[in-house]
Structure 1
Amino acid sequence: MISFGIIGTGWITASFIAGAHATSKWNLATVYSRSAESAKHFAAKYDQKINIHTEISSLATDPSISAVYIASPNSYHYKHAKEILEGGKHVILEKPATSNAKELDELFKIAKEKGVFLIEAYRHIHEVNFKILKGNLPRLGKIYGASLNYAQYSSRYDNALKGEVPNIFNLEYAGGALVDLGVYCIAAAVELFGEPRQSQYFPVMIPTGADGGGNLILTYDNFSVSINASKIWNSEVPSEVYGEKGTLVVPTITDIARVVYLDPKKKGEREELGKEKEKEHLNLKEEAAEYARVIEEMDLEAVKKYEKVSRGVIKVTEGCRRANGLLFPMEK
């Protein structure tokens, strides 16, 4: 099994551990937190013996692990990943991997020099039904366009309206809706269609100075993709890819429960293509299984593919942020 450590003790980390352990390919061996008490409290949830670290440097040099899953606040991703990679360990880095392309370039460079992998954790592109969606694109013939949506109200917006500045709505922590939820839609578009030729973002600004939501247009050679991403409103609008010979519909862009094909010549008929998805508490299992396979097989081609997705996403998010004055501290 792959012995791994974690940085970040939030719900997403617990979800990754649950999914990873369910594959029988991973074993949690170390927990990092600036607070020893916090690290011990988190580690106590698991039966096995777990080492505790309160310094990134000691985690990076821990000989008992070969990989680290990083889910610290966005603005710490680059710093944490750099130190772990320099320690010669694989890194599974929660999205958004970094604040900008320059940071991402450096991390990929270090990973290659050290002979380890840096993989940005876009869980949804590894889901069985996302793969079914992608696999059925040729059935549509010429692509006319797509609409990809992820709008989910955050309770932390209530705090923002009271004058507080939660991390997810704080540019100092590299927050905002585009890089929090929008990246799921952008990553889906890049995985399905490749890197767009142009992108334009129309943000809805909130009192914290960040974008609470917005609409994004990705332009390809012969079609466009519209994206509705928000943390300040809800939407139940499904995501669709439509083409000359039909339309593919999924209810959500992550945790996809169904994939439906609509034939334009058979009005009212719906062909169900999807398979049963993972249970909610194991919705990171598919990505954990894939990352374990990549590491075990040292699959360089897969890593190059995932790197291409990450580079395509950061090009869109950084360009759109800068165009709208959504600057992180290092960019001011």
Structure 2
Amino acid sequence: MEHELRIATIGTSAICERFLDAVAKTEGVCLAGCYSRALDRAKDFAQKHGAELAFDDLAELASSPDVDAVYIASPNALHGPQAKQLIASGKHVLVEKAFASNAAEAVEVFAAAKAAGLIAMEAMRNLYDPGFAKIEQNLDRLGTIRQATFRFSKITSRMARLLAGERVSQFDPLLSEGALMDIGIYTMEPAIAIFGQPKRVLAAGICMSVPGEPLDSAYGKIDLAGEVLLDYGDKVVNLSYGKVTDDLIPSQIQGETATLTIGALPNCSQLKLVTHVDAGMAYGTVGGAEEELPVVIPENDMVYELSFFRDAVAGKAEALKRVHQFQQVTCDALTTMDEARRQLGVRFPADK
């Protein structure tokens, strides 16, 4: 495209602030406007970040000739409906994870974008970070992969409020939220991107009743942490996630020849490959040579996903190939998460 990609934002949260920092650091994109349900808030947010336009009407944003694309960082339950409305008006969409409430909704959004000749992309940053590409490049060195564990848990400051009986939006099934959708997705999508959809899913979790929700409500349960086992027949993949404890163990992909450890899964960094050594009878695991796999991660790695989005909108073949690959990952991951939620008993209004 001849001019800079003019992006508007939906939301005023911390993740939107971080995205706008990435916009300022990425060539070929600029902030055009900001949307919030409250116009004063939209104006304040726009002024703070140097945008000329402010909206409190989504239809007005969708029809604006001064906006090419929209970054959607609203609650998960709004992602699908907002994306479809924007696509119908000719806007490209970059949607914060989780892309939609469930797989069916994601399929609808991607189909609408394809029919309109537009880009719809999930802002799943650890897939677009260079560390994930480095992992992909080294998988063949592991030999036949038999097991993998992807882990990400951290205590959220909102937990105290939730346990005190406050209804917290990040743990509200009416908004398609919860630990799996917010933090478990960082474990799910790399696993699906590498191994595809599993043959079988087994889920167990720590759940609680939603404060203020009627006892007979279908949306009265939310997950705080969990484990999801993905059965592939020839390999087993374990996903561990949560918002009530801090997980200090690296993720790892274990092959018959070597093991690749991932110290920081959210940006796929701190990578190390350890080759197997046959030490005979040994009472414990014996690793061989260790090789650091260096990855350069900037202070704000959202610049990578934004750059891919910009290039895909511009029609660049390499970016389009990657974006289309990860569109399928988004759908397959949500399909697997739908099943995990079904087993946990966590339902959203968008579920049929």
The 2-side partners of 1:142 and 1:52 are apart by 53
2:239 counterpart of 1:227:
yes
What is the deviation of 1:329? 2.3
Structure 1 segment 46-85 matched on structure 2, within 5 A: 46-47=49-50, 49-85=51-87
Identity of aligned residues (%): 30
1:115-136, Cα deviation, whole Å (9 max, x unpaired):
1111111110111122111210
When residues 159 and 127 of structure 1 are mapped into structure 2, their CA distance, relative to the original with a 3 A threshold, is same
Residue 160 of structure 1 contacts residue 207 of structure 1 at CA under 8 Å; is this kept in 2?
no
| Cα deviation, residue 46, structure 1 | 2.2
Separation in 1 of the partners of 2:80 and 2:287?
Answer: 50
1:322 aligns with 342
- Higher Cα radius of gyration: 2
TM-score by length of 2: 0.90
Between 242-251 and 303-312, the greater mean CA deviation after superposition: 303-312
Residue identity matched to 2:344: N
* Alignment check: 8 A CA contact 1:206 1:212 kept: yes
1:295 matched to 2:313? The reply is yes
1:215–1:228 contact (8 Å) kept in structure 2 = yes
Deviations 1:43-101 (A, max 9, x none): 12223x42011100011011111110000011111121111111111100111111122
Pair 11,177 (structure 1): closer, same or farther in 2 beyond 3 Å? same
Q: Distance in 2 between matches of 1:191 and 1:331?
A: 24
Report if aligned partners of 1:32, 1:52 keep a CA contact under 8 Å in 2: yes
CA–CA distance in 1 between the matches of 2:288 and 2:147? Answer: 21
Alignment of 1:1-332 (within 5 A): 1-47=4-50, 49-208=51-210, 209-265=221-277, 267=287, 269-279=289-299, 282-297=300-315, 299=317, 300-331=320-351
Cα distance in 1 for residues equivalent to 2:323 and 2:303:
18
CA distance in 1, matches of 2:201, 2:24: 38
The answer to whether the Cα contact below 8 Å between 2:102 and 2:350 also exists between their aligned partners in 1 is no
**Partner Cα separation in structure 2 for residue 127 and residue 250 of structure 1:** 13
Q: Which moved more, 1:134-143 or 1:252-261?
A: 252-261
Deviates more, 1:257-266 or 1:88-97: 257-266
Consecutive aligned runs of 4 or more in structure 1 exceeding 6 Å deviation: none
Q: Distance in 2 between matches of 1:228 and 1:284?
A: 24
Residues 77, 350 of structure 2: 8 Å contact kept? no
TM-score between the two structures when normalised by the length of structure 1 = 0.95
Unaligned 5+ runs, structure 1: none
Measure, in 2, the Cα distance between the counterparts of 1:136 and 1:301.
Answer: 20
Any idea what SS the aligned residue of 2:266 has?
coil
Q: Mean Cα displacement is larger for which, 136-145 or 110-119?
A: 110-119
Once the two structures are TM-superposed, the CA of residue 268 in structure 1 deviates from its matched residue by 5.8
Q: Distance in 2 between matches of 1:197 and 1:258?
A: 30
Distance in 1, Cα, partners of 2:102 & 2:239: 21
C-alpha distance in structure 1 between counterparts of 2:41 and 2:288, whole Å: 55
- 1:236 partner amino acid: L
Q: Is the 8 A contact 2:151 2:241 kept in 1?
A: yes
Q: Is the 8 A contact 1:5 1:68 kept in 2?
A: yes
Gaps of 5+ in 2: 211-220, 278-285
What's the offset of the Cα at 1:303? Answer: 3.3
Distance 1:184 1:207 in 2: 24
Contact 1:161-1:207 within 8 A present in 2 as well: no
Distance 1:311 1:94 in 2: 14
SS at match of 1:44: helix
CA separation of 1:248 and 1:236: change in aligned 2, threshold 3 A: same
Write the distance in 2 (CA, Å) between the matches of 1:20 and 1:222: 43
